[in-house]
Amino acid sequence: MIKAVKFDKELARIYDETRPIDSEGCCECFRDALQGINGKKDARIVDVGCGTGRILECLVAGLVRKEQVVGIDVSSAILEVARSKSSLRGVEFHDISVVDFAKSASNQQMFDVVICHWLFHCLPDWKKVFRACVDLAKPNGVLAWLEEEGDLYRVLDGMDASNAPLVRLFEAYYESVNKELHAHGSEKIAPSVRAGTMVRCTDDLANELNALGWNVQTQFKTHRWTRQVTVGWIFESIFERRVFTNLRRIPPGINLRAITKLKQRLGKGRLPKASDIVELKFWAKAVTAISSSKPMGEHLQHQTKNQVVQTTVGDV
């Protein structure tokens, strides 16, 4: 059984607010995936790791009947938020890991479109989850994903130092948190929680599909957008509220002390001021990919042909 990230009650409550996305841009990519099923009355869609249902919210309107849409998530706390949204009335939600959901013959190869938004990056064992998602797709179905590959994550992974104010800010944040953790006898956190074990980018997902016998073609469609925020916003929205990492929760008291100390240093040395504006860059790429020559996934018996839409997006 996959050890999934638990999106507990506290995080579920502030999730939409503290993890902003450009819904329009994201939905634009997923709409490409949904195009093929427009007008098909019996088409079925599943959003795997649907969270608070925010992607479904912008997709279901007008495209398909809500009864044809299923959202699954391993966290019942986050599904409570999705279920409470009136815009999603009629959508079927299941509290279950996709790995278990895909074990049932009644779910295998049942969906015309399988959607995954920000799912794989937060899972140490993303390959199993990815295979389960593949198993849900009907022959000639679509697997569509958007994964995190934004500047901010590159910065955190030490991959891209082009956005200097952000680099300085995040380095200083980690330094401050680690000093506090050290003072309390706790283990330090690494600048990247994802390095090594997690899916790093779209290429990893494409390689995995190839390993499953799929022929992934690379015809990228790219959407780009940027968002300007102040350094103060990063403190309020990311450092203070998000409690930074998904997998390693920094105790709130330690986090607060670390950011209070960091705030006092703003505008000094190499650090930007709270009122300074930084630009977050986002992008989303979509590629329509093609057929499999081997059986897909662990549970399937026969050969299938599938269409894949693969996307990737930057995120804060």
Ligand X SMILES: C[S@@+](CC[C@H](N)C(=O)[O-])C[C@H]1O[C@@H](n2cnc3c(N)ncnc32)[C@H](O)[C@@H]1O
Question: Would you tell me which residues interact with ligand X (CB under 6 A)?
Answer: 2, 4-5, 7, 48-52, 54-55, 72-75, 78, 97-99, 117-119, 122-123, 129
- List, in sequence order, every residue forming a beta bridge with 45; answer none if it has no partner: 69, 113
CB of 77 to ligand X, least distance (A): 9
CB of 119 to ligand X, least distance (A): 5
- List, in sequence order, every residue forming a beta bridge with 115; answer none if it has no partner: 47, 144
Query: What are the strands, taking DSSP E only, across the chain?
Result: 45-48, 69-73, 92-95, 111-117, 137-146, 220-230, 277-289, 307-313
Asked if 210 and 293 count as a contact pair (C-beta separation under 8 A), the reply is no
| CB-nearer residue toward ligand X: 195 or 247 | 247
CB of 199 to ligand X, least distance (A): 12
CB of 209 to ligand X, least distance (A): 18
Residue 236 is given by DSSP the state I
| CB-nearer residue toward ligand X: 16 or 276 | 16
| CB-nearer residue toward ligand X: 57 or 112 | 57
| CB-nearer residue toward ligand X: 136 or 258 | 136
| CB-nearer residue toward ligand X: 3 or 294 | 3
Residue 124: CA count within 13 A, CB half-sphere: 10
CB of 100 to ligand X, least distance (A): 8
How many residues does this entry show for the chain?
316
Asked if 148 and 283 count as a contact pair (C-beta separation under 8 A), the reply is no
| CB-nearer residue toward ligand X: 109 or 246 | 246
CB of 261 to ligand X, least distance (A): 29
CB of 233 to ligand X, least distance (A): 20
Sign of CA dihedral 22, 28, 34, 40: positive
| CB-nearer residue toward ligand X: 97 or 288 | 97
